């Protein structure tokens, strides 16, 4: 039954309810506004003004009609003429519209995606008096949806399997990569247990990792085995990370599986090649060893004959013959040094460079080495500075002499414009330290590290510097076998100093 109110009471009641409506609209987190029957704004709340970015004037025929936004666009970004928007159509067609999407542009140029609901308003007599529109900002949720879509397409374009699972092991997501690696389609595996692809012997391993992740500990990736749909074993690298909810609680685990089958095959192939290479290298060393050994015997015989001839020519006064024979002897000496070096390389390669150590005075070894070099090389003066008179070392004398002679011959060979080599000997109490310094061509800094490598020779060496690139390789091995060390300090164009450190402790 309708209650008829006094006109005065009726006006008060209308004013009261309008006040309540405005209050209510002011509290609402959505934009609310009304228009008159011509579409001019008659009311809007703060949220509406905020979303439009402006405060339009009310009941003003010079203001924009149907909506406070400066411009309107369709969801696809095309401009929407104001007279065609849903709010205008409500005025012309007197129709409601529900959940329509639009884009509003405010004075500040900010675009907002909004969802609008519009109703026409009729008075008690049924006459059309305007419209009411409620709208809310969906920009963020649209962006979140876009981000999600982008993420999903990244996940699906990955060749790795990206899988998520709940803490009880139920598979909750499965990308295209997972379908390709494991052979299960998404709809076959979602909701199944992760045990479907985990061989039982690896279940504990996975459980312990999951435990660590839940405790917030970091977990390294894991090379392991999983099963495909046909039960075949697949070599995979697994990387785990926690999935957390908005309250930072771990609610699941995401797992990235990289298929290592190709890599494993390449690794196996590489192993085979390595093995073959090792065998070839061994054969080469054996060959060098054998060839040098074979060459040594005829060389020794030739040297013997030459020495006999030299003696005979001296005795018979054939000085010319004597000089030739001596020259031949020098070259035979060089040849047998080369052969000895090659023989040593093959011994080093095969781990057969044996030592025969005993106690010697270091200065004796150095003096003998220097004398031996002086006898053949007259171009340089070799100076010896020693702080270790009487210092004894437990070494293979022949081998240490060989090492020192190598360094001295190099110092002379690689300093053609100098005339001095300086040998120093000192001790730090625990080691004997011998250095050989020259004033020669030096070594380029980018190649210093390589000079102890077998057959290495500095790039761009003048052809006058003959050699096989094995002297330092053998020298380093000799020093290493004595538990010592060898290194070089060098400046290109100024010279080099080689240091040898040998422990005094037997
Ligand atoms: P090589 O028979 O070539 O001298 P080594 O093994 O004795 O072989 O030396 C390796 C390379 O190191 C040499 O070819 C040379 O380029 C460089 N080298 C060695 N000693 C010196 C030095 N005292 N000064 C400059 N370069 C040197």
Candidate from 28-37, 93-102, 148-157 with smallest mean pLDDT: 148-157
Q: How far is it between the farthest Cα atoms of the chain? A: 162
Inter-residue contact 380 to 421 (CB < 8 Å)? yes
Candidate from 183-187, 467-471, 483-487, 500-504 with smallest mean pLDDT: 467-471
pLDDT of residue 186: 93
Candidate from 70-79, 284-293, 301-310, 342-351 with smallest mean pLDDT: 284-293
pLDDT > 90 fraction of the chain, expressed in percent and rounded: 60
446 DSSP assignment: G
pLDDT of residue 217: 84
pLDDT of residue 192: 95
Candidate from 101-105, 242-246, 393-397 with smallest mean pLDDT: 242-246
CA distances to 3, 107, 185, 424, 482 from 397, rounded to whole Å, are 128, 94, 74, 18, 11
Inter-residue contact 63 to 41 (CB < 8 Å)? yes
Ligand 1 contacts CB of residue 416 (under 6 A): no
Ligand 1 contacts CB of residue 411 (under 6 A): yes
Which atom of ligand 1 lies nearest, measured to the CA of 440? 24
Residues 96, 77: Cα–Cα separation, whole Å: 24
- Own/partner pairs for 327-335, CB < 8 Å, 24+ apart? 329/303, 330/376, 332/299, 332/302, 332/303, 332/306, 333/303, 333/376, 335/299
Ligand 1 contacts CB of residue 183 (under 6 A): no
To test the ligand 1 pocket, which listed residue (402, 409, 415, 451) has its Cβ within 8 A of the most ligand atoms?
Answer: 451
Instruction: Give DSSP secondary structure letters for 49-60.
Output: HHHHTS-PPTT-
Candidate from 80-89, 168-177, 279-288, 422-431 with smallest mean pLDDT: 279-288
Inter-residue contact 299 to 315 (CB < 8 Å)? no
Q: Which of 293, 409, 283 is nearest to 340 (CA)?
A: 293
Q: HSE of 435 in the Cβ direction (CA atoms, 13 Å)?
A: 17
C-beta atoms surrounding 42 within 10 Å: 14
pLDDT tops 70 at residue 240: yes
pLDDT of residue 15: 86
pLDDT > 70 fraction of the chain, expressed in percent and rounded: 99
pLDDT tops 80 at residue 1: no
Candidate from 107-116, 228-237, 285-294 with smallest mean pLDDT: 285-294
Higher pLDDT, 342 or 382: 382
Distance 119 CA to ligand 1 centre (A): 95
Inter-residue contact 156 to 176 (CB < 8 Å)? yes
Which atom of ligand 1 lies nearest, measured to the CA of 415? 24
Residue 369 in tokens = 């080495």
Q: If pLDDT is split at 50, 70 and 90, which confidence band does 494 have?
A: very high
Ligand 1 contacts CB of residue 458 (under 6 A): yes
Distance 463 CA to ligand 1 centre (A): 13
Residues 58, 341: Cα–Cα separation, whole Å: 105
Angle between helices 362-376 and 397-413 (to 10 degrees): 40
Q: Which of 442, 441, 438 is nearest to 408 (CA)?
A: 438
Decide: helix, strand or coil at residue 236. strand
Tell me what the mean pLDDT of segment 99-112 comes to: 91
Average pLDDT, the chain: 91
Ligand 1 contacts CB of residue 469 (under 6 A): yes
Tell me what the mean pLDDT of segment 268-282 comes to: 90
pLDDT tens, position by position, 40-79:
999 999 999 999 999 999 999 999 999 999 999 999 999 9
What's the pTM value of the predicted model, to 2 decimals? 0.53
pLDDT of residue 156: 84
**Beta bridge partner(s), residue 238:** 222, 257
pLDDT tens, position by position, 313-365:
878 877 667 778 888 888 888 888 888 888 898 888 888 888 999 999 999 99
Q: If pLDDT is split at 50, 70 and 90, which confidence band does 304 have?
A: confident
Q: Helix/strand/coil (H, E, C) string of 373-388?
A: HHHHCCCCEEEEEECC
Residue identifier of the C-alpha nearest atom 3 of ligand 1: 469
Residue 84 in tokens = 């065609």
Ligand 1 contacts CB of residue 470 (under 6 A): yes
Q: If pLDDT is split at 50, 70 and 90, which confidence band does 3 have?
A: low
**Beta bridge partner(s), residue 243:** 252
Distance 442 CA to ligand 1 centre (A): 9
Dihedral (CA of 104, 105, 106, 109) sign: positive
Distance 473 CA to ligand 1 centre (A): 10
Query: CA angle 371-377-378, nearest 5°?
Result: 100
**Beta bridge partner(s), residue 121:** 130
Which atom of ligand 1 lies nearest, measured to the CA of 406? 7
pLDDT of residue 162: 95
Dihedral (CA of 382, 387, 390, 394) sign: negative
Q: Please classify residue 333 by burial: count the beta carbons closer than 10 Å to its beta carbon, then call 0-12 exposed, 13-18 middle and 19+ buried.
A: middle
Strand ranges (E), 297-376: 358-361
Task: Name the residue with tokens 């639009």.
Answer: 102
pLDDT of residue 127: 95
pLDDT of residue 11: 84
Tell me what the mean pLDDT of segment 105-112 comes to: 87
Q: If pLDDT is split at 50, 70 and 90, which confidence band does 5 have?
A: low
Dihedral (CA of 333, 335, 339, 345) sign: positive
Candidate from 42-56, 208-222, 448-462 with smallest mean pLDDT: 208-222
196 DSSP assignment: G
């Amino acid at each position: 039954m309708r209650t008829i109110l006094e006109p005065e009471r009726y006006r008060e009641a209308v004013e009261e309810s309008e006040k309540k409506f405005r209050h209510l609209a002011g509290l609402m987190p959505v934009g609310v506004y009304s228009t008159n029957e011509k579409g001019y704004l008659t009311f809007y709340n703060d949220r509406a003004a905020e979303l439009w970015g402006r405060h339009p004037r009310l009941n003003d025929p010079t203001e924009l009609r149907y909506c406070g936004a400066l411009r309107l666009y369709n969801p696809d970004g095309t401009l929407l003429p104001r007279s065609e928007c849903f709010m205008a159509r409500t005025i012309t067609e007197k129709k409601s519209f529900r959940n329509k999407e639009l884009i509003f542009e405010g004075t500040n140029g900010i675009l907002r995606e909004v969802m609008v609901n519009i109703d026409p308003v009729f008075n008690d007599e049924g006459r059309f008096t305007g419209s009411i529109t409620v709208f809310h900002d969906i920009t963020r949720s649209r962006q979140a949806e876009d981000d999600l879509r982008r993420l999903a397409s990244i996940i699906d374009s990955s060749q790795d399997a990206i899988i998520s699972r709940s803490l009880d092991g139920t598979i909750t997501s499965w990308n295209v990569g997972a379908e390709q690696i494991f052979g299960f389609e998404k709809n076959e595996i979602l909701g199944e247990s992760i045990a479907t692809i985990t061989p039982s012997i690896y279940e504990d391993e996975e459980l312990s990792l999951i435990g660590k992740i839940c405790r917030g500990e970091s977990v390294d990736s894991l090379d392991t085995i999983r099963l495909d749909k046909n039960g075949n074993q697949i070599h995979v690298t697994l990387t785990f990370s926690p999935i957390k909810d908005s309250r930072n609680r771990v609610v699941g685990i995401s797992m990235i599986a990289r298929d290592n089958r190709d890599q494993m095959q390449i690794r196996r192939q590489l192993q085979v090649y390595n093995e073959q290479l090792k065998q070839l290298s061994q054969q080469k060393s054996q060959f060098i060893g054998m060839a040098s050994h074979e060459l040594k015997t005829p060389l020794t015989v030739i040297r013997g004959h030459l020495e006999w001839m030299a003696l005979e020519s001296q005795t018979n006064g054939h000085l010319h013959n004597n000089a030739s024979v001596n020259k031949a002897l020098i070259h035979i000496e060089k040849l047998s040094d080369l052969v000895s070096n090659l023989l040593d390389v093959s011994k080093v390669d095969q781990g057969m460079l044996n030592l025969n150590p005993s106690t010697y005075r270091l200065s004796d070894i150095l003096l003998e080495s220097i004398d031996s070099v002086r006898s053949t090389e007259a171009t340089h003066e070799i100076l010896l500075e020693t702080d270790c008179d009487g210092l004894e070392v437990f070494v293979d004398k022949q081998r240490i002499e060989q090492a020192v002679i190598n360094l001295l011959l190099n110092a002379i060979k690689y300093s053609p414009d100098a005339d001095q080599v300086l040998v120093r000997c000192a001790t730090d109490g625990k080691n004997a330290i011998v250095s050989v310094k020259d004033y020669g061509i030096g070594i380029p800094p980018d190649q210093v590290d390589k000079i102890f490598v077998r057959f290495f020779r500095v790039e761009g060496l003048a052809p006058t510097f003959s050699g096989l690139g094995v002297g330092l390789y053998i020298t380093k091995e000799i020093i290493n076998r004595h538990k010592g060390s060898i290194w070089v300090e060098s400046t290109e164009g100024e010279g080099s100093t080689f240091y040898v450190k040998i422990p005094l402790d037997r």
